[in-house]
Amino acid sequence: MYNQALHKTLLEFTQRGIDSSNKEKLGQFIAKHHAADLAGVLERLDPAEALPFFELLPIEEQAEVFGYFNSAFQQEMVDVLSPRRLAELVSVMDADERVDFFNKLDEEHQQAIMPCLAQAEREDIRKLASYREGTVGAVMTSDYAALTADLTVARALEKLRREAPDKETIYNAYVVDEQRRLLGVVSLKDLILARPEAKVQDLMNRGLVVLRAEEPQSEAAAKIARYDLLAIPVINGDDKLAGIVTHDDALDVSVQEATEDFHRMAGMTHKSPGLGEVNMLDASPWLIVQKRLPWLLILVFMNIFSGAGIAFFEDTIEAVVALVFFLPLLIDSGGNAGSQASTLMIRALATGRAHLKDWFALLGKEVGVALLLGGGMALAVSVVGIFRAGPEVAMVVAVAMVCTVLFGSLVGMSLPFVLSKLKLDPATASAPLVTSIADIGGVLIYFSLATWLLRDMIVAAGAG
């Protein structure tokens, strides 16, 4: 939540200036606030204005605040930080945040800070940066606690006590052999409760849930949620422990994946920089246009087919003009039903509650549901049809309603499965795409039924 009082105070100091007399007091005031609150306020200042407040913090707290900045503001801060200060900041970041940030830097800044980092940090960056974006390896951290099986509990606790300041979590320690192959895990609670002379190998849990570094990052979030874990170990191709994914990183992945899905479902492109990384108040109109325009242009040309369908049935429309009154109602109903079905299926596939093998069973269920939905909507619209255009047109509208709702529902339900089968993101079956397909189908279904069921009226109108 945005801290308005903090923002007001910083603005007052910006106008008044920061000197030696108030620097210490201001530093103490800033340090009392959570890093997330401070980041939210500093992002509303110009980078040059934010820098003096930022540098009042100890370097470790600077790294924490920096991690809460959105990507765009991080890049702006890079331009006002000196290379030495930037290198210091990178060196104290958590391993996973360090490599994420390093990958976003341009080549000039990367080359400037690499010589300033310790050898171990440079190697860690190279190792973690080698994993493809979107994989578990790209979100894992190498700051994990590791023990060997032959250690006594007393020695294990002493080792954890020494290493704790440099590790992201020590609640679980991972047991490895000489080649760093993963043997098991032991919790800090079990170590504390055990006898000092007991061996780690007698306490460790060998039934581990693990991830492979090349798996999609969504698997990390799914497994941590399914097994209720604080962290999950990651192994590489040689079955050696490569890192861990913690629950907070898994949460970030879940938010990122959900944001991307929502953007795709809304028919927006999701290429870097994404809208999910930018406050909508700060997003430029041009960025928003870039995200929204491509799909809208595609859908414009798709909807030409709807116009072509209407033109094809010009004689039918001319003979029974009352049909036009019900056209928006019918095609919108098909599109709405398709959007509902698509949203449900995308979510089911994303959460693992539906799989490709379930398509046929779900298809049968969707047919039944769509017929019931279409029947109820047909009953309602037929009443309007009788008063507006007579029983003949009402019958056409009612039958068309059932058929268009059935068609839209089946398109909305099946398209995510088709895209999954093609190894594409099911969320690409966005509401605008499903609606456009349902619109085209609805026009063709409606006027085809009208031409067939009202042929006598059409012939009579033509003869007249």
* 409-419 tens-digit pLDDT: 999 999 888 88
160 within a domain of the structure (yes/no): yes
Please, what is the Cα angle at 132 between 129 and 133, to 5 degrees? 90
Separation of alpha carbons 332 and 380, rounded Å: 15
Domain end (from 102, 132, 162): 132
The answer to whether 431 and 332 are in contact (CB under 8 A) is no
Domain co-membership, 450 together with 351 = yes
The domain that contains 175 carries what CATH number? 3.10.580.10
Tally of CB atoms within 10 A around 352: 12
Separation of alpha carbons 139 and 59, rounded Å: 23
Tally of CB atoms within 10 A around 393: 22
332-351 per-position pLDDT tens digit:
999 899 988 988 888 788 77
Domain co-membership, 318 together with 436 = yes
- Is the pLDDT at 298 greater than 70? The verdict is yes
The domain that contains 396 carries what CATH number? 1.10.357.20
Residue labelled with tokens 């994420």: 100
The answer to whether 95 and 141 are in contact (CB under 8 A) is yes
Tell me how far the alpha carbon of residue 344 is from its chain's centroid: 17
98 within a domain of the structure (yes/no): yes
The answer to whether 156 and 190 are in contact (CB under 8 A) is no
- Backbone phi, then psi, for 273, in 5-degree steps? -80, 140
Query: Of 174, 88, 97, which Cα lies nearest the Cα of 129?
Result: 97
Domain co-membership, 125 together with 150 = no
- C-alpha dihedral, 26 to 31 to 37 to 42, nearest 10°: 40
CA distances from 226 to 35, 70, 229, 232, 236 (A): 30, 29, 8, 12, 22
140 within a domain of the structure (yes/no): no
Residue 272 has a pLDDT of: 46
Q: Is 395 exposed, middle or buried (0-12, 13-18, 19+ CB in 10 A)?
A: middle
More confident of the two residues 93 and 258: 93
Domain end (from 81, 104, 132): 132
Please, what is the Cα angle at 398 between 394 and 404, to 5 degrees? 135
* The residue type at 7: H
266 within a domain of the structure (yes/no): no
CA distances from 326 to 97, 195, 220 (A): 56, 79, 49
Extract the tokens encoding 398: 């009612």
> Minimum mean pLDDT among 9-23, 185-199, 429-443, 445-459: which range?
9-23
Residue 2 has a pLDDT of: 56
Domain end (from 246, 276, 295): 246
- Is the pLDDT at 240 greater than 80? The verdict is yes
- Is the pLDDT at 317 greater than 80? The verdict is yes
74 within a domain of the structure (yes/no): yes
Domain co-membership, 311 together with 220 = no
Mean pLDDT over residues 111-116, rounded?
82
More confident of the two residues 55 and 187: 187
The answer to whether 36 and 68 are in contact (CB under 8 A) is yes
Query: Of 296, 282, 164, 185, which Cα lies nearest the Cα of 233?
Result: 185
298 within a domain of the structure (yes/no): no
Q: Is 342 exposed, middle or buried (0-12, 13-18, 19+ CB in 10 A)?
A: buried
11 within a domain of the structure (yes/no): yes
Residue 176 has a pLDDT of: 93
Q: Is 129 exposed, middle or buried (0-12, 13-18, 19+ CB in 10 A)?
A: middle
Which strands make up the sheet holding 146-148, listed edge to edge? 146-148, 172-176, 182-187
- Is the pLDDT at 10 greater than 80? The verdict is no
Domain co-membership, 11 together with 83 = yes
- Is the pLDDT at 226 greater than 80? The verdict is yes
Domain co-membership, 166 together with 90 = no
Separation of alpha carbons 43 and 54, rounded Å: 11
Instruction: For strands 172-176 and 241-246, give the pairing.
Output: unpaired
Domain hosting 84: range is 4-132
Structural domains counted in the chain: 3
Domain co-membership, 38 together with 106 = yes
Of the pLDDT bands very low, low, confident and very high (cuts 50, 70, 90), residue 168 is confident
Separation of alpha carbons 373 and 24, rounded Å: 68
| DSSP class per residue in 8-67 | HHHHHHHHH---HHHHHHHHHHHHTS-HHHHHHHHTTS-HHHHHHHHTTS-HHHHHHHHH
284-294 per-position pLDDT tens digit:
777 777 777 77
Domain co-membership, 448 together with 324 = yes
Instruction: For strands 172-176 and 182-187, give the pairing.
Output: antiparallel
Domain co-membership, 164 together with 65 = no
Q: Give me the count of residues in the chain.
A: 464
DSSP 351: T
- Is the pLDDT at 254 greater than 80? The verdict is no
280 within a domain of the structure (yes/no): no
Domain co-membership, 349 together with 447 = yes
The domain that contains 26 carries what CATH number? 1.25.60.10
Domain co-membership, 344 together with 436 = yes
Cα-Cα-Cα-Cα dihedral sign, residues 132, 254, 258, 222 = positive
Domain co-membership, 454 together with 309 = yes
H-run or E-run covering 264:
helix 247-265
